[in-house]
Amino acid sequence: MRLRMVGLAVLVMAAAGCGGVGSDPGGEIRVSAAASLTDAFASIEQAYEDAHPGTDVVLNLAASSSLREQILEGAPVDVFASANLLNMQVVADAGMVVGEPAVFAGNTLQIAVPPGNPGGVSGLADLSREELLVGLCAAGVPCGDFAREALALAGVEAAVDTDEPNVRALLTKVIEGELDAGIVYTTDVAAAGSVVEGIAVPAGHNVAAEYPIAVLAGAPDPVGAEAFVAFVLGAEGRAILAGHGFTLP
């Protein structure tokens, strides 16, 4: 008897949950995009909504690895734009992607330092200095994996003080001056403007990030999703991405 009541309670909860998730909201496209796309996709959202009145693009911005987990756990998402191929591949391998993911942008790494460069950082080798406060993205987050690749290529063992959950969280701590240096994307430094300085990572040690985008198999609005992806891959999307400092495939 008791068990049956609990079962009933569970059923009621499940039914209540379905109402919110399954229904198709009028013209809403849910886009899960990597944190490093924050500014570029805000511009793309604006341009898309201007071109398609009545459509509402909803951005969910986080580390690609967080977005991947949300999608794998069944979050209602129409489009996934990842900051690396790996996270997209995991979603595709789970059979949750429609067609082939398309690479729509590329990025490189820079060392972000607070204005005036108080730590006197001039290259990757400085990140091994114990007296500096150095941050990376956590391992598993694309910017964290790329940063570790670059450090390995340069043969530098970084004295890391914090593994931040996503690139924007890392950048914020550099902007606030709490960290002396952090490895972020070139586009993040450009987006932040004068509140951080970027120090180039030489081409031999740099790692080129590739951003794939795809419509998800469980998309609540597959038509809108296709249209949005086409927009990002099209002339207007490319122009916006280039304007934010991304390289184009």
Partner 1 sequence: MVLGLLGLAVFVVPLAGLLARVPWARLPALLGGDVVTDALRLSAVTSLAAVAISAVLGIPLAWLLARVEFPGKRVVRAVVMLPLVLPPVVGGSALLFALGRRGLVGEALGDATGLVLPFSTLGVVVAATFVAMPFLVLTVEGGLRSMDRRFEGAAATLGAGRWTVLRRVTLPMVAPSLVAGVVLTWARAFGEFGATITFAGNLQGRTQTLPLAVFVALETDRDTAVAISLVMVAVSLIVLAALRDRWWGAR
Chain positions contacting partner 1, by CB under 8 A? 5-6, 8-10, 12-13, 63, 65-66, 68-69, 133, 135, 138-141, 160-165, 173, 176-179
**Least Cβ distance, residue 205 to partner 1 (angstroms):** 24
Angle of CA points 94, 98, 103, to nearest 5°:
95
Residue corresponding to tokens 């990376």: 136
Work out how close the CB of 133 gets to partner 1 at its nearest, in angstroms, rounded to a whole number. Answer: 6
Helix (H/G/I), strand (E/B), else coil: 235: helix
Q: Which is nearer to partner 1, 24 or 176 (CB)?
A: 176
Q: How far lies 180's CA from each of 111, 120, 198, in Å? A: 10, 9, 12
The SS3 call for residue 59 is strand
Q: CB of residue 27 vs partner 1: minimum separation in angstroms? A: 31
Smallest gap from residue 221 Cβ to partner 1 (A): 27
Q: Which one, 114 or 212, has the nearer CB to partner 1?
A: 114
Q: How far apart are CA 55 and CA 49, in angstroms?
A: 6
- What CA–CA distance (Å, rounded) separates 82 from 25? 24
Amino acid symbol at 187: T
Least distance in angstroms from the C-beta of 177 to partner 1: 4
